Structure 1
Amino acid sequence: MTAPSAHHKTLSLFEFWPDSVFYTPIVLYWIMMGLRHGDLSISTAANPRIETGGLCGESKSSILDMAGPTARQAIAPYRIIRNGPDAVEAVLNAMEDMGEAFPVVLKPDIGCNGTGVKLISSLEMLRTVLPLFPAGIELMVQQLITYPMEAGIFYIRHPNEDTGRITSLTYKEAPILVGDGRSTLKELIMRDPRMRQVPQLYLPRIQGRETDILPTGETLSLVFAGNHCKGSIFRDGRQDITPALTDRINAIMKDIPDFHFGRIDLKMASPEALKRGEEFQIIEINGVGSEAIHIWDRRTTLAEAYRSQFYHYRQTFLIGAAKKKEGWKSSGILGMLRSWLKQRRLLASYPTND
């Protein structure tokens, strides 16, 4: 019996390995590079105006706030509010200020992997969701971008370069159930070739609705936040990187001071429009801690994934070293540890993402 081809695989070999297994070689590589440069935290200087360079614990809005007029035009409008007794009113005021009506996106200002991202469709839902977040934390209220597709673009520009480059492009797909008028939601999940292999990702999303039956042809999207570890499906789109897209992304990212390394998450009208550098809106910009997420395409081999990871982390050390020569400082090991502990504490306190 022949093994299925890589094209027909539903999961890659390593796609859902525990972090402690997959990332161990990367941590060892990080330490080796840090020792070589005489500073284990030198990569945090790659984006020196951002806390830890965006490795962990950074505020999402602190990155977006630095955008100049060119970049701001491409970023989905947002406001920051503090969670507390007046949070409902603060969200409504923020929406009015942006000229937005429900639905809007609500997410923690400090977070990763889509944790705590909520799609708020009504005032009643807002009143239900806000108490699920800790009091006193800052939340981002952001316009819901209705473009049908989502992508992640990895951008690198060395300090001595006038033009950066796109090293990764990944399309993100939300897993969708299609009703047949007979099967329950749980049966539809367990029948899907991919979902049934990682039911722990999808079954909690239908909690209390396991026996509901979708009418024939009706669809149910299981994941709103485009994160692989939360159940989104990633497709390698590097073949669609074009000079026009590179020029557009470069113009945007150069309008954010001293930003050299990270991933742009965006909603887009279509791959064709994206290739022309048109019809997209940025929803988030991530720094040193972000990945070139095409590695989570099911067809990627383990060797290819590690090659990509080592290449990208090597760039952060080279850029960080160059920025230190310019006079910028890295965050130091203690600074990295403090930010990581802060982020870890906050992530544990957030509700499940939509």
Structure 2
Amino acid sequence: MTTEARPPLDGVLVLDLSRVLAGPYCTMILGDLGADVIKVEPPGGDETRRWGPPFVNGESAYFLAVNRNKRSIVLDLKTERGREVVRRIAARADILVENFRPGTLARLGLDLAELRERNPRLITLSISGMGATGPESGLPGYDFIVQAAGGLMSITGPPEGPPMKVGVAVVDLTTGMMAATALLAALHARHATGKGQHIDISLLETQVAWLANVASAYLVTGEPPRRYGNAHPTIVPYQTFDAADGPFALAVGNDAQWQRLCAAIGRPDLAEDPRFRTNPDRVANREALVALLAEHFRAAPAAEWIRRIAAADVPVGPVRTVPEVLESEQVKARGMIETVEHPTVGELRLVGIPFKFSATPASVRRPPPLLGEHTAEIEAELAAYVP
């Protein structure tokens, strides 16, 4: 491999003490970027190895989704031998990621501050449900609980229906992304200081942070947000509509797009209607406009509306199923389905890497590991390591 072709995090060693989703997603991102990720698992393995069905040749699809580009070692952290191996890996590592409940590692005899004293360049990151401090810091926090407790469910779902969760574990996933971002910043800071540091991140804080414009609207007005289903609270029309044969998605982001939309669908009169000329007008008269558009769109198939509206350079698209997305030509063209050889599954298809580097490419170098697959290999490396 040439120097130019080395991945961005080539040479970075990550000690991964996390399990389930937020932590493993973070460390998978680091692994995709080239880091050597050592995943420490208890004798029974990461819980998600048993989450299913579906399973393929005994392997959980859930576990396979977020654990590529890692090596697995089995250690019992309740034993001194297990803790000592962790200390020895931490002494070499650049990054340590964990998502135990606050205080758990210290009670086990693996205090993160002590590990950083032994290795001042070590960057440690703790992911918790609610944060390391505060009145709820000791509570456990799966994604679903934080979607509820963090306000996301209150703004998700139909206006007259119950609060609903998002279809994927979006709080876990975005926490993993935020954690990876913070770790990359800490690596950059270490170039200047020569020292690592500790990063504290939680599912709750991540969820609150990306309430974004919804939180901002409440903070500046004091008015609680409400649910809009597939519509947008401050942009109209920006929702799904039912065509003659099924739904499609339409997103009119500005008044110029509105003018083009009206011409494209054969309703120039709507663009001239004083109730709908500007976006604030359309928001104020949402119900009247949506009713007019809904009636009009039922007259033709979704593909016809998409063709006409897209030709007018207005954002529009089909409502696809997951299989339709994963088999689409665009997803394939962008390399978003990767195939790797797995020791028990054989040819394994995985979702690909979303970022494409021009000079230091990320890649899928390893399949998700079997439980303890690399225990002997890693212990041999530790035995040979000379500080």
TM-score bracket for this pair, using the shorter chain length: under 0.3
Q: TM-score scaled by structure 1?
A: 0.23
Q: TM-score scaled by structure 2?
A: 0.22
Between Structure 1 and Structure 2, whose CA radius of gyration is higher? 2
Larger RCO (CA under 8 A, 6+ residues apart): 1
